[in-house]
Amino acid sequence: IISYRVDINMRFRTSSSDGLLLWSGRQSDPQEQKDENDDFLAVGLNQGYLTLAYNLGSGEAILRYNLTRLDDDLWHRIRVV
C-alpha cells in the first residue's frame, strides 16, 4: 500500500464461510523469519462474517463485522475506507 488513504470497493458472491477476498502486502518466504513490521491489508470471510486484518506499522489489528453473514450465495458490496 503506497498512499496514506485506502478506498476499496468490491462486489462478491460466495457460499464459502471462510476465505480471502483481497490481500495487499509482501509475499513472505516460509524460510524467512516473520518481520512484525511487514505492512499488509487483508479482507476476507471468517465463519461467514467480514474480517479486515492489517498491520500498517503499529502491529497487527483484526476487525470483524458480525451483523450480517455474507456466505449466503447472494451478491454483496463492501467498502473499506
Domain of residue 46, CATH code: 2.60.120.200
- How far apart CA 3 and CA 55 sit, in angstroms, is 14
1 belongs to a structural domain:
no
Q: Which three cell numbers stand for residue 72?
A: 449466503
What is the reported pTM? 0.79
Q: What is the pLDDT of residue 81?
A: 85
In terms of Cα–Cα distance, which of 68, 64, 66 is closest to 53?
64
43 belongs to a structural domain:
yes
- How far apart CA 20 and CA 44 sit, in angstroms, is 4
Q: What is the pLDDT of residue 57?
A: 85
Average pLDDT rounded to a whole number, residues 36-63: 91
| Enclosing domain of residue 75 | 8-24+37-80
- How far apart CA 78 and CA 81 sit, in angstroms, is 10
Instruction: Answer yes or no: is pLDDT of 40 > 80.
Output: yes
